[in-house]
Structure 1
């Protein structure tokens, strides 16, 4: 079946390529001078259907590519103050030159109409005014309504279903991928248009040499010098609430800066604006988000799915950041980015667990307090010119977290985890021309120190340690991990006709040192649990590699083949009996190809093989209490995973008709040499995890598609999406135990102990936005998903769940400068014959001071005063149903003043 599908795909792909034709040439005007900005359109005869079009450049040149099965086509040439010509020509690749006759264009009435969406080359431009509503205030508000563009809940932006790789303002990348602050705080009135840069290669010297799979966004402001920004101040009751946002911004041709201070206790997760969401190009160096290295953890209250964060987040956050970009010279830029977060979060939930027979087996209540202090500083020197590239990024990250939990299970417990962490890294990349070749050198160095202390009181709460801790008051798990990593590479690129070849050699090296100790503590001293609860482990990974990258680009076709050979050497040794090593040569080819079928249609495909190897978190002989419910040991071979993948995409974007469509398919086949088994205490849900040298395999197929269209006549943007995935995997059946059971007495599993798990997921999404009426605007988003899980093993288990979510936001404008808003969030979950419904309602009134660019808003959130969010889900790993209740923010009333800085 796979071979037939591959042959069919290849046949269709080849047919489309050979069916494509190209007409090119010049358009001349008066006195046979080249005529710029003339349109050349290919149309089907007698159908008035546009196949493709092009606009002549400054020298009158044009090139238009199209696909048609007809013997002849119409070619229409139009230009202002010239007579339109239309003639029939053979459906063939050819060169056609046109001489237009002068003809004055009579204008009876002047009406300036800006096109909603225009396309020129690989750039698609959106007129912001065409998509905004009266309720919109920031760039993010309008981006959500543009066809082909999607904004996720975390603020990341997708174009045609894929994440963007750059976010520019007036062509400059101030935020280095952390564009959340600008997107959320840039007033829409400061923006002239938004440009989508398709197939964007951010390194200028590599443009037209190396393929790029992703698009970028460029925000063009109305003025070259713009002082702007957004502010917001709120006070409220439930009981006492505050919210303050101050984000002044300056954009000039040589200097850009953004200052940002935000604080609130209304559930707004402003600190996420610091996350990198666009990672650019590999030749720019290494970019990573920094977060807690969560080895140890307290028991965590459940976080709801698919619900807006501000519904359930009980927070007190202070977030400050500053971003500066300045041009040192014509090509050199200096950037400095810094941020600091102080955050306190409270969370509570209750989880009821049911076995496969529907019997209640456990009830656990968890109340958390999370305290976060995080600092970041970054300095960047860069030169991105047509003839050279240089970028050096120096970053410091510091994290000082304390997590607290109070649990009610069979008995109660108090838990505390301290996790200070410090990280320093430097990334350097340079591309230098050498004769007709390009030499690239990259270097990355990182050092990180993580310390974690987990305390659990009383000691007998940890049932898996009741024998060892019977004379202790509390349990103390200590962990220290020091990580040094370095990545170096050198490559040289040279071009021949339509080919670019880039051979590369490199060396990746990392070393980890892990020290852990588990003991009991009393008022009289420390009770040592013995060497079986200790680790003094050194883990080293050395990977020299060599690879060849070949890129072909001609006309509308582009392909990139990368073939690396990796020499992997990994060792893991400790002070006890652990001594593991792996030496393996791996080949990981990857192919990506893209073809522009017409001006509107684009097809792409990719395939490859990847290998990954276990890290220090996958192998240690001493037992580690990762949490009060998870005692783990992983005395296995070094983990090896192999994945083979293939995928394709078909995209259609037609700015003439405001239609955007894409469909994507992915197949992945993987194998892993290590399998894990869960030993579950059925009464407390406490786990002991043990790894075995036993290979397991799995595969996944997925397809997703989305069709969106903007209807200018009705000022409506609508889209519908569908996704389907089928996953197959193997897992070892969880074994139910009691506190007295010793897991070492259980025999090692064999292939006969595997359960085959099949998961079938389907989802439908619908989005609708309408601004047709001057007195009303409507936003509606809905999603429906079906999940079917089947487990085949000692006995057959089948579970089906259905989830439905929708959000309706309406705004009424009864009188000028007055706005009434209403929001309705509905979330429903069905599983095991039970249904959980969650409804939330908000209402607001806003008065706008137009001249002052200020809004005064009174808002009531959660009118019904719902105090809990409930859902029900199936856990295929443990073959049980989990029913969850999470505390929700109560009704709150807020008075807010919103304003622009200019």
Structure 2
């Protein structure tokens, strides 16, 4: 670890070995008035290669920073209605003032040409018109083509490979992180430009005091008051009858903004994920997250292919959401936001698998699983904020309710022959959270008070029938099968969770430094109750205390922390230095569980960034973290979390303790002048644990999971690089990426003869990607994505190689005005040193555009080859697995698409 840290420091300082040169001054006209918006560039002597640039402010003042080994450089100044200035200057920090001569000329003809990418300070602006193709309709369609930006299927946005922390429309954060709805449904024609704000600190009172490592996106619309939105209505042919309806009207005003969204379909389109929170802002804004259930119990799940969900998702979904932002008072600093959503979804899934076990002399197990998943979820949220230079306040109240149910019909063929099982789970959940954060100026100090309260009640009931489906040996009476004379079995579980976090801090600023001492108290408690029962002639009987739990798990952590932040012209520093007093206790007297731990830990986090030569950034990060497990790591009564995986911790084992360390570095180059972006990253992580899971195969394909006290560790080295460039002459955006990861982890397992294997599992994996889009020809546009992956896994039990190939080609032809023909080709190949499988999918579409009304009529034929199954072969440390998964058959959809205005 010491040598690695030295390597990273050396790596960073290699880029700053030359001292920075800073040239400042003022630019004035013939009358002595400052000239605003004059461009100042530093270039290599005798070359037209820009090393740095700056724009003068409203007073004519400029500042340009660069790094060069040359003794002299060229300085050039240009301004409207002024004669350009050129001067050779020494490579040294200095102040130079310039007086420009007037050069007004009569312009007979004016042609305005907007720059596709411009940079001012930490903000990079993109003109969407420069990147769009004729087939694009929404903001997300165009963002995918911008260099340095990636858009995932759920609408989430990555900038330079990292998630953004805010998504604004005309400077307002209506969606509070759940921006997928706008990204996927905002018509591109309503957008003037997209701004990327690097190192964005969303809390205004902290903008000059506490730096940020993340970027934000602001979508600037053409009009300050905009009524817009996107809609689709479609029907399909096949079994069953298909439909697709999407209605998303939007309004963006100076005082009010709102988005209403209703989407329903059964054609494999995942729309309900648009409500997920994709960006989480800043820690000083309080705490927010995607509310989810504590999924302790599960039916057996069919395997899903590594394909776009539209290829295999058999769904029937209705999703509604509404988002409102308004200024309730005369002061625009106060905002009220209200969000609500409801999801009703039914999903079918089926897969067949054949597993060959290395542990059990090559024994083969066959499994066929057919699922039905039912989701009903309601969520409501009220947010009250004031984000001003003189104070900050934010309170978020969230209510969530789930009514979920899952079903599985399973057919197994193993050493016990063929057997069928029916599995059903009911899992209602109620959840409440309230997060409050406020920053109050006190003289020259800033006082931050934060409070978070969360309560969640999960109730889950899993039933399996017939009981003969389970062939486990009795865990307490070896030699007898469980439930021999019963009809069915039931696993009941209930967990009530309470979490309370309170903290107070005071910020002191001195020049460019900010020091923030903080004290706080974090408390969480879980009450777990579970019971395993048998059903015979409709009579329910508890099975015994070895299959019950009545566990109370508490974690109380008072802490003291010091935040040290620095924000200069070139350097950023963000650090948290917390001391945590961990007091953890787990009690279940009936199972003889009485565990506790009291330990003081130091868990620092550090991030630093250095900007140089206008376009370069070098950064490094490091953190150390302790984790002492939770309720899932301390219960002693067996729980059938899955019909094939009963598990429990030994009552004699200590509370799990995990120590994680990681360091990372990144070098970035972003030059909007020549449309070139690239980054190089490195990360190393190491984890030490005192508990390890032990998987025991009972010979019937069932896995019994237990945990034993044994020191073990894992570590990972990951290196990656990405380069992207936009070629305006060819209207082409292209990027290349590569990543190499070496991971090692200790593993423990036991075969059916009770032979225990403790071994090192090593995986060396590489991925390479290429993205390309072109709109050069007026009659055609192309989008192409290609990825390769290779991996080599070695262990005491196995030595295998896997590889994969995935590409997507989307081509659109425009033979006549308002006519579009589209062709899509997905190719997914997978294999190993033993065998390989190739899966190809083709789609064809025709679209006519009624340009006057901006309405599209689309006819699309999906999965032309009518491929109904997806096949995959893979190897792991203990087995080989062949899987066949059900896909959506060929289908034809007719859709009418339109903008609301």
Q: Which structure 2 segments of 5+ residues have no match?
A: 414-418, 475-479
Aligned to 2:460: 452
TM-score, normalised with respect to structure 1: 0.96
Verify: 1:735 aligned to 2:751, yes or no: yes
Moved more, 249-258 or 585-594: 585-594
Aligned to 2:301: 300
Aligned to 2:891: 892
Aligned to 2:488: 474
TM-score, normalised with respect to structure 2: 0.96
Aligned to 1:597: 612
8 Å contact kept, 1:17–1:597: no
Distance across 1 between alignment mates of 2:411 and 2:101: 87
Distance change >3 Å, CA 5–CA 290, structure 1 → 2: closer
Verify: 1:769 aligned to 2:773, yes or no: yes
Verify: 1:714 aligned to 2:730, yes or no: yes
Report the alpha carbon displacement of residue 292 of structure 1 after superposing the two structures with TM.
2.5
Report the alpha carbon displacement of residue 504 of structure 1 after superposing the two structures with TM.
0.2
Superimposed CA distance per residue, residues 4-46 of structure 1 (whole angstroms, 9 cap, x where no aligned partner)? 7725743751661652211111110130100001010000001
SS in structure 2 of the partner of residue 272 of structure 1: helix
Distance change >3 Å, CA 666–CA 574, structure 1 → 2: same
Alignment equivalent of 2:537, drawn from 523, 542, 553: 523
Q: What is the correspondence of 1:329-728 to structure 2 with a 5 Å cutoff?
A: 329-356=331-358, 359=362, 361-410=364-413, 411-464=419-472, 467-576=481-590, 577-635=592-650, 636-683=653-700, 685-728=701-744
Q: What is the correspondence of 1:150-229 to structure 2 with a 5 Å cutoff?
A: 150-229=150-229
Distance across 2 between alignment mates of 1:590 and 1:728: 24
Report the alpha carbon displacement of residue 733 of structure 1 after superposing the two structures with TM.
2.8
Aligned to 2:289: 288
Distance change >3 Å, CA 655–CA 461, structure 1 → 2: same
Report the alpha carbon displacement of residue 575 of structure 1 after superposing the two structures with TM.
3.1
Distance across 1 between alignment mates of 2:875 and 2:209: 49
Distance across 1 between alignment mates of 2:683 and 2:386: 37
8 Å contact kept, 2:212–2:574: no
8 Å contact kept, 1:759–1:788: yes
Distance change >3 Å, CA 106–CA 680, structure 1 → 2: farther
Aligned to 2:260: 259
Report the alpha carbon displacement of residue 333 of structure 1 after superposing the two structures with TM.
0.1
Aligned to 1:144: 144
Distance change >3 Å, CA 452–CA 53, structure 1 → 2: same
Distance across 2 between alignment mates of 1:682 and 1:893: 46
Verify: 1:847 aligned to 2:848, yes or no: yes
Distance across 2 between alignment mates of 1:802 and 1:71: 52
8 Å contact kept, 2:197–2:217: yes
Q: Which structure 1 segments of 5+ residues have no match?
A: 738-745
Distance change >3 Å, CA 523–CA 105, structure 1 → 2: farther
Distance across 1 between alignment mates of 2:168 and 2:305: 33
Distance across 2 between alignment mates of 1:756 and 1:304: 28
Distance change >3 Å, CA 12–CA 384, structure 1 → 2: closer
Report the alpha carbon displacement of residue 559 of structure 1 after superposing the two structures with TM.
1.1
Q: What is the correspondence of 1:67-106 to structure 2 with a 5 Å cutoff?
A: 67-105=67-105
Distance across 2 between alignment mates of 1:665 and 1:212: 20
Report the alpha carbon displacement of residue 113 of structure 1 after superposing the two structures with TM.
1.1
Report the alpha carbon displacement of residue 562 of structure 1 after superposing the two structures with TM.
1.5
Report the alpha carbon displacement of residue 107 of structure 1 after superposing the two structures with TM.
4.2
SS in structure 2 of the partner of residue 243 of structure 1: strand
8 Å contact kept, 1:82–1:105: no
Distance across 2 between alignment mates of 1:105 and 1:348: 74
Count residues in correspondence. 883
8 Å contact kept, 1:361–1:682: no
Distance change >3 Å, CA 351–CA 11, structure 1 → 2: closer
SS in structure 1 of the partner of residue 638 of structure 2: strand
Distance across 1 between alignment mates of 2:663 and 2:16: 20
8 Å contact kept, 2:12–2:619: no
Aligned to 1:742: none
Distance change >3 Å, CA 791–CA 499, structure 1 → 2: same
Report the alpha carbon displacement of residue 154 of structure 1 after superposing the two structures with TM.
2.9
8 Å contact kept, 2:196–2:216: yes
Aligned to 1:778: 782
Superimposed CA distance per residue, residues 299-353 of structure 1 (whole angstroms, 9 cap, x where no aligned partner)? 0000112x11010000000000000000123200000000000000000000111
Verify: 1:130 aligned to 2:130, yes or no: yes
Q: What is the correspondence of 1:859-870 to structure 2 with a 5 Å cutoff?
A: 859-870=860-871
Distance across 1 between alignment mates of 2:198 and 2:485: 66
Distance across 1 between alignment mates of 2:178 and 2:4: 44
SS in structure 2 of the partner of residue 83 of structure 1: coil
Superimposed CA distance per residue, residues 730-769 of structure 1 (whole angstroms, 9 cap, x where no aligned partner)? 01134236xxxxxxxx69x7xxx52011111100000000
SS in structure 1 of the partner of residue 446 of structure 2: strand
Distance change >3 Å, CA 704–CA 108, structure 1 → 2: farther
SS in structure 2 of the partner of residue 276 of structure 1: coil
SS in structure 2 of the partner of residue 713 of structure 1: coil
Aligned to 2:477: none
Aligned CA-pair RMSD: 1.5
8 Å contact kept, 1:54–1:64: yes
Distance across 2 between alignment mates of 1:643 and 1:626: 27
Aligned structure 1 segments of 4 or more residues deviating by more than 6 angstroms: none
SS in structure 2 of the partner of residue 426 of structure 1: strand
8 Å contact kept, 1:72–1:89: yes
Distance across 2 between alignment mates of 1:369 and 1:553: 53
Distance across 2 between alignment mates of 1:29 and 1:469: 94
